[in-house]
Structures are given as structure tokens and as C-alpha cells.
Structure 1
Amino acid sequence: MKFAIFGAGALGCRIGYQLMKAGENVTLVDTWKDHVEKIKKSGLYVDYNGIEECVPIPIYYPEEVTNTFDVIIPLTKSMALENVLKDVKTYCHQNTRVISLLNGLGHHTIFEKYIPKENIVLGTTIWTAQLKEAGHVLLHGVGNITLQNAVLDDTLKESVEQIVHIFNQANLNAQYSDNVMHAIWKKACVNCCSNAATALLECNLGEYLLQENGKEVVRHLTEEFVEVARTQNIDFDSEELLAFVLQATLKVKDHYTSMYQDLVKNRRLTEIDYLNGYIAKLGKQNNISVPYNDFITKLMHLKEVVLDAK
């Protein structure tokens, strides 16, 4: 299969690198000039759980892409998704699968504006990665990927199961789910509880969640999240979800979240409106009290202004 990853950030580099090492045909696409030029010239420098190597991998600017692909994975920031999908649709053939793995909630409605629903694959991942600098990615920890075709059809399911198999050949720990929206919301809860807080506190996951006050904040965020999820016909047990959030985050306690990296390190705007902000919006629409999610959203937008994020 021919894979294209639009957005060669930390996660895009991880997935692209692991697929390429498994023998797949992979193309990275990005707009960050320093990153693209460094990889074009010297290859992608990878630190994979302490093992370092430099690998050649095709990377292009969007305007350089002329091929169609069998699988396209947009891994841009949520705010840029709509513009990226306008380009992506031109690189699709009739059977191209376009996979949504973005952090946050509500992306499927944007995908459906540009990609035929039968070509959309919904998914989520808890893999982490970190860009140390242009052309240099740090890969650590463990994760998984969960996928499901957006249109429930046995033939379409077979094509997604083929992608799952390829991902597993690349050690990406993939699985097919008959209820991927539950998994997407579950992952979103992890991000709602960890990303913004670590960006506000300018710390890693352990420094935040090994403190009792940190755990108390997570408890309140989770309780609000569960109430809002129920309005979307997605059910969680609050205590079970809280335990999952703490377990998932403390497994990688030394990790600095993507929102921390975006805002604190790189002064970039964040995806807060697709995480805590989305929960706050749905809560208000459904007359549910969401003070913690609402307050964190407001603080994040304030910090974006203070740091002059772009």
C-alpha cells in the first residue's frame, strides 16, 4: 500500500518511520521548511527508545505532491484540518482510505465535508512522540491505534482490517473496534485531563499528576466529561475512567504533552477548543455545569495571548 502522512510532526514521523521500517511505501508531507529541507538533505534522525539512527524517508511540500495514495493520514493540528482536507481529496482515488487520528472531538464532521463517508476511517491512538528539533524525533513509551470504518459495512470493514494488519506489522499495536467513538472519547478524556494543565503549569505529566492537587483537578475534569459524554450517547463509569486516565498518563510520567510543546516551547496556538473547550461548549448547550473545563479553556486562551502564540 502507498501511505501518505500529511503533517510530519512528532506523531507523523513516528507512524511514517515505523511503517517504512516494516517495508511500506511511505510519503511524508509538511510545510515546515527547516524540517522538510533537513529530512530531504540528511534523512530523519530517530531516537527510538534510546536506539539512534538516521533514515532516508521521502518528504515533500504539499504543492510538490502529484500522486494518489491508498491510505492518507492527516496529522495536522485541528485548526488547520479543513484546509488540509481540501488538498487531501485531490490525492484520493476511488478506494483511498483517509484515517482520522487527531486529538480531540468533532473532527468526523469536518472529514465528511470533503471525503466520501465510505472512504473515512475513524480512529484514535495513544502513541506519543516528541520533536527535539527539525528533522529529529524522539520515540519513547508504548501505545496503540484503534480503527473503524465510518460507514458500517462488511466489505469496508475488510479494508480497514487490512490496514490494521499492516499497522501491526509495523509494531503499532492496532486493533479494529466496533465502537470506535467510545475509544475516541476515552482518549479525549486523557487529553482533557492532562494537556492543558501541563501547558499551564509548564511541567511534565508526572510533576502534575503525582501531586494530590493534580489528581483532584483530574477527578473534577473527568466527572464533567462523563456527564457531557452521556448527552452524546457515550457512557462511561466515572471511577473507571478516572483510573484509566491516571494509569495511561503516569505510564509516561516524564512525557511533555503536545500542548505543552506547542504553546510553551513553540508559541503556537493550541487545540484547546477541540478538547476542554468542546466539553465546555457541549456542557453549556445541554445545561450541564462544567466549571473546570470552562475555566481551563479560558486560562489557555489567556496564555495564548500572553505568549503571543501564532
Structure 2
Amino acid sequence: MAGDQSESSLYVPRLRNGKGVLESRPSGRRMAARPRERGRSMGKRIAIIGAGAVGGYAGAHLVRAGEDVTFVDMWPEHVEAMRRDGLRITHLRDVPEFSVPVRALHITDLQGVAKERPFDIAFLCVKAYDTAWASTMVRQYLAPGGYCVSLQNCMNEETIASVVGWGRTLGAIASSITVELMTPGHVHRNSGKGGAAHTVFRVGEVHGRITDRAREVTALLAQADSALTTTNLWGERWSKLVVNAMSNGISASTGLISREVLLDDGLRQFTARLGAEAIRTGQALGYALEEVFHMDPELIARAGEGDPAARRAYDEQRIAEAGKPGGGAHRPSMGQDMVKGRRTEIEFLNGFIVERAKAVGIATPANAALTGIVKRVERGELQPDPRHIRELRLN
């Protein structure tokens, strides 16, 4: 855009009321992108750091579109399967299965790329707790004008920027993508494409301006599904945090899939309570929130706070969602992690909300309680069980 400062200029978070809160741009300014013609590469060298569900899904579509992509992952069996058989992508409905041959490296092999042209774009698709070391690892392989894109859950841009600099940090939200790494080399999406009905990828700069490189990332991700460029990265990011806070920990602590949670009156109301606390915290921090589960966040907040009309509207929408073909017939990512015995991101989701809420004087007893329960299940002190939530007594 005319008048923009350099895209690589240092970004310093502005203070809001002296509290060091990142200011958000108002929602509503978005620029959609269309997929590029297959085979017309952008000519960029792209790294996917973390070739799991989201990284594998997005990266496979980039490869199929003719982009130069290198996958880097920590799981040896997954790397070997990708080398041998490529990446296989399947969907619950509407989309034909496909497989693509890919270049896959284990993290111990990454040093070999020092002899090659450096990466122009590095998509970080690792878990939040792996962000710092993954950013450090890839930094030395970035081109002088190269940059990192956080294609992750949680709010990791600040961590990435502490390693590579604010001027080399962008964010991308994957909204309602419902993907899972089923077996080594196989990513399954528990839905069809979002398409015109729901924009899946939302890409933004930390400073809120629309830049050429933000449009570039949007065009790349549009190869996988609908994508837009937003001036409201922080509002989009917190809104996705609310979605995850309302669904991930519940699945991890109860052992239930999303549909089972939505059809349980007590658990469904607890999700509204979680959402209300997270929404009020985001509002107090100054974020311009986007829709959450296709609902006005204010409706969810009032439902969680006990407003009868809002509660009825919330219940109606969530129950209807569970009744759709394939609706809620999956485990959120944290539920998947718990089943697989992996570390969860609870401290970076609900725990993060609790910590940020303290700074603005918001009480978050539901999020604090869920964080504690998930940690106990993770340590093996408790087994996943809906009673952990049903028997909670909160003020």
C-alpha cells in the first residue's frame, strides 16, 4: 500500500493505558485471495517447520500447486513415510483423496540446507511450547528478506519475534480446519473445504497494515482453502484462542469428541462459561474480536454469564452444529494429543487466558479449573472423565 513503512522495519508493540497491551486494529478490513493457477509457482523457497496436521495439510497443497517446499519434522517415522510415499491428504466429504511426493527432512538433517539457497518463507506449524527453539533453529536458514509465519494455535508471534525480530514475523490463523495426522504420512480433514461458506486462513501483519508479503502468504494458503488478508491479526488471533479454549481442554479432560460435549447440557454450558471469561479478557485487553463459532462473541459471553435468552440462542446453535453431517465427529487437537500421550498446549491456551486476565482484573475460575484438571490428566493423576467437569463447583 502507498505510504506503508518497510515491511521489514522493526515493529514495537504500542502501549495501551501503560499496560504494554498490543493494540488491535478494528475488524472488518479483509482482502480475500483466490488460488493461483496450478503450476504457476511464486518462485519462493518455503519451509514447513512441523509437518503435522496443519503443516502437512497446507504444505501438501503448496507442493501440488508447484511451490518449492521443504518439510522439517521431529517424528522419524513420519519423515520416513513422507520420503517413501509422499503426503496423503484425505477429507471427510466432497474432496478427492490425493498424494504428493515431498522433500522431507528430520530436524537433524536441516543443517544440510546451509549449502542451498536460504528459505524465503518459514511456516512455523509446531506446538506452542516448541516455538522458541523452532524459531531459533530456522532463523539461520532464512534469506536476508525472509520471514516467519506462525501457522499455529495460541499466540506465538511475540515468541517468534523475540528470536527473528518483529519485522520478520507474520501470523496466520487456521479457522475450523479440523485436521488430524492419522498415521505417518497421512493427514485427514474431518470436513470438506471451507470455501465460500467459511474463510479458513486469515493472514496478517503484527502492525495491522496490508502488505505485499501478507498478500503473498494469503495467496499461498489459498491453494489449500479459502484465505484472506486481515488488518486485525490480534483480534483474529484472540478469537481463535477463545474457540480453542472452549473446546480443546474439554476434550482432553473428558475423553469425549466434540459432538458428545455439545450434546451434554452441563458440558455445553461449561464451554460457554469458558468462552465468556476469555471474551471478557480479550475485550479488556483491547482486542476487536471476530465471530466465535459463527456467533457474535457478545452472545457467547452473555450465555456464559447466565443470560437466559443468550443461553437459549447459544444452545440452539451448538446443538444444531452437532447435528450436521460430520459435525463435531472429531477430537480437537488437544484431545488428540491426550489420546496419543503427547504434551498438551493447555498452559498456552486456557492457562494463557488466566495469566492475561490477571493483568486486567478479570476473574477466570472456569479456565483456571480446566487448566488444573488437564494438567492432572496429563500427569496421569486422573483418567479422562466427564465427571471432572460436571462435578466442578464454581462461583
Do they fold alike, i.e. is TM over 0.5? yes
Out of 229, 238, 244, the position equivalent to 2:298 is: 238
TM-superposition CA deviations, 1:12-46 (whole Å, max 9, x none): 11001111112211111001011111111222233
TM-superposition CA deviations, 1:66-96 (whole Å, max 9, x none): 1421211111111111111111101111221
TM-superposition CA deviations, 1:277-309 (whole Å, max 9, x none): 01111223333211100000000100111179x
Q: Does the CA-based 8 Å contact 1:118-1:151 persist in structure 2?
A: no
Out of 54, 58, 63, the position equivalent to 2:108 is: 63
Name the counterpart of 1:257: 332
Q: SS where residue 59 of structure 1 aligns? A: strand
Q: SS where residue 342 of structure 2 aligns? A: coil
TM-superposed CA distance for 1:246, in Å, is: 4.1
Inter-CA distance 256–191: structure 2 relative to 1 (3 Å threshold): same
The residue type paired with residue 170 of structure 2 is V
- Report 1 or 2 for greater relative contact order, CA contacts < 8 Å, sequence distance ≥ 6: 2
Name the counterpart of 1:200: 253
TM-superposition CA deviations, 1:204-226 (whole Å, max 9, x none): 11110122222211111111112
1:178 equivalenced with 2:227 (yes/no): no
Q: SS where residue 255 of structure 1 aligns? A: coil
Q: SS where residue 131 of structure 1 aligns? A: strand
Inter-CA distance 163–9: structure 2 relative to 1 (3 Å threshold): same
Name the counterpart of 1:31: 74
Q: Does the CA-based 8 Å contact 1:118-1:149 persist in structure 2?
A: no
1:52 equivalenced with 2:127 (yes/no): no
1:162 equivalenced with 2:216 (yes/no): yes
Alignment of 1:287-306 (within 5 A): 287-306=361-380
TM-superposed CA distance for 1:235, in Å, is: 4.4
Q: SS where residue 97 of structure 2 aligns? A: strand
Name the counterpart of 1:115: 164
Q: Which has the larger helix fraction? A: 1
RMSD: 2.4
The residue type paired with residue 332 of structure 2 is T
Q: SS where residue 146 of structure 2 aligns? A: strand
Question: Which moves more between the two structures, 5-14 or 41-50?
Answer: 41-50
Name the counterpart of 2:132: 82
Inter-CA distance 183–295: structure 2 relative to 1 (3 Å threshold): same
Distance 2:46 2:71 in 1: 9
Name the counterpart of 1:132: 182
Give aligned-pair identity as a percent.
25
Distance 1:153 1:189 in 2: 24
Out of 341, 345, 362, the position equivalent to 1:267 is: 341
Distance 1:202 1:275 in 2: 18
* TM-score, length-scaled by structure 2: 0.72
Question: Which runs of 5 or more residues in structure 2 are unaligned?
Answer: 1-43, 195-199, 290-296, 304-313, 383-395
Structure 1 segments of 4 or more deviating over 6 A? none
Distance 1:272 1:36 in 2: 27
TM-superposed CA distance for 1:97, in Å, is: 2.5
Q: Does the CA-based 8 Å contact 2:278-2:353 persist in structure 1?
A: yes
Inter-CA distance 171–305: structure 2 relative to 1 (3 Å threshold): closer
1:145 equivalenced with 2:201 (yes/no): yes
Q: Does the CA-based 8 Å contact 1:2-1:26 persist in structure 2?
A: yes
Q: Does the CA-based 8 Å contact 2:274-2:366 persist in structure 1?
A: yes
The residue type paired with residue 256 of structure 2 is C
Q: Does the CA-based 8 Å contact 2:91-2:97 persist in structure 1?
A: yes
TM-superposed CA distance for 1:62, in Å, is: 2.2
Distance 1:248 1:70 in 2: 43
The residue type paired with residue 242 of structure 2 is C
Out of 270, 277, 281, the position equivalent to 2:351 is: 277
Q: Does the CA-based 8 Å contact 1:226-1:235 persist in structure 2?
A: no
TM-superposition CA deviations, 1:116-154 (whole Å, max 9, x none): 222211221122211111122212323411111224556
Question: Which runs of 5 or more residues in structure 1 are unaligned?
Answer: none
TM-superposition CA deviations, 1:234-292 (whole Å, max 9, x none): 1454206775994997464112111011112x111100011110111122333321110
Name the counterpart of 1:99: 149
Q: Does the CA-based 8 Å contact 1:222-1:238 persist in structure 2?
A: no
Q: SS where residue 16 of structure 1 aligns? A: helix
Name the counterpart of 2:27: none
Q: Does the CA-based 8 Å contact 1:267-1:307 persist in structure 2?
A: no
Inter-CA distance 274–45: structure 2 relative to 1 (3 Å threshold): same
